[in-house]
Amino acid sequence: MANIGFPGLILILILALIIFGPKKLPEIGRAFGDTLREFKRSTQGLTNDLLEEKDEKNGK
């Protein structure tokens, strides 16, 4: 995804606007943001659990 660039991002946004329409696009964006937020929260929790487990094994 890092190689998309600005023109590619604009093209994707225009295609999404054409496909989904202006009324549905904010709902899709909100749902996508919620999904990313939950994924970040889950991975952070998993990372914290692994670090705690590592500390317990090391006797800290």
Residue 1 has pLDDT above 70, yes or no: no
Cα–Cα distance for residue pair 2/43, rounded to 1 Å? 21
Residue 52 has pLDDT above 70, yes or no: yes
What pLDDT score was predicted for residue 60? Answer: 60
* pLDDT tens digit sequence for 7-51: 998 998 899 889 988 889 889 889 999 999 999 998 998 888 888
Cα–Cα distance for residue pair 44/25, rounded to 1 Å? 28
What pLDDT score was predicted for residue 33? Answer: 93
- pLDDT tier, 58 (very low <50, low <70, confident <90, very high otherwise): confident
C-alpha distances in Å from residue 24, one per residue of 11, 12, 29, 51: 18, 15, 9, 41
